[in-house]
Amino acid sequence: MWELVKAGGWLMTPIVVCSILALVIIIERSHTLQFNKIVPSRLREQLITRLRENGDIGRTQLMNVKEKTALGDILATGLLYRQYGLESMTMHMQNRASVQIHQLEKNINMLGTIGAIAPLLGLLGTVLGIISSFLAITDGAMQDPTMLAAGVSQALITTAAGMIVAIPALVAYRYFQRRIIDINAQFETQAGLMIQELYDYQLLENTYVTSVKQPDRYAGAYDQLHNAVQAD
């Protein structure tokens, strides 16, 4: 292996570095992007059951749920802001989902960049190897074929090395992108189901009634808006 790296010339150094980076990212993202760690099963059902049994969940318990998993962060955030109404609850859950998706996409673009750069490095090595071969011909390589073979071997080795690094990197990049899309869909599904269950079990009723009856200070503005609509 070391002999191949040496025969490929100095361009093998960045190709080897790219291969190491790609391998580290693939291992790290494979460990991180696991459904059971990000979207644990029955988490939503457990939260709804606890709400139905106790009427509320303590802030300390919700903070513990937030810190454990990405889905727990989203759902617990919604329950923390449940008292402020459905619109506030939904907006805060969307914000947390955006933060979680951004964290899940960590280093994914780097993997795509490696998949794009590695073939170009191999192509550059090919061009430099061919140039070396032609220069060797002009220097009398027809009498010494080893001088010509050095340039050709450099061209072939760098091209193969670039492809070997790029193909797994691009496959993993596409796979992780698809995984993140699926995870995002699960975030939306679980959040929507929790809101629906809060309605079904009337766990938002008190909050809704309070938010409607409380703001007497808005009554005048509402009457003005109503009168303006009637006038039109």
∠ CA(175), CA(176), CA(181), 5° rounding? 100
In this predicted structure, which of 22-36, 40-54, 111-125, 127-141 has the lowest mean pLDDT?
127-141
Mean pLDDT of 138-162: 74
Domain extent for 168 = 12-124+159-225
Q: How many CB atoms lie within 10 A of CB 105?
A: 14
Q: How many CB atoms lie within 10 A of CB 69?
A: 18
Residue 206 covered by a domain: yes
| Phi, then psi, of 87 in degrees rounded to 5 | -65, -45
Biggest CA–CA distance in the chain, Å, is 101
> What is the reported pLDDT for 129?
84
Give the count of domains, the chain.
1
Between CA 75 and CA 96 the distance in angstroms is 9
Residue 114 covered by a domain: yes
| Phi, then psi, of 142 in degrees rounded to 5 | -65, -30
Residue 77 covered by a domain: yes
Closest CA to 173 of 4, 21, 17: 21
202 conformational bin, left if phi > 0, alpha if psi -120 to 50, beta if neither: left
SS3 of 232, please?
coil
Between CA 17 and CA 43 the distance in angstroms is 41
Residue 110 covered by a domain: yes
Mean pLDDT of 219-223: 45
Cut 0.85: pTM above it: no
Residue 53 covered by a domain: yes
Residue 82 covered by a domain: yes
Tokens 């280093």 map to which residue? 107
Residue 92 covered by a domain: yes
Tell me the two tokens of residue 3. Answer: 């002999």
Residue 144 covered by a domain: no
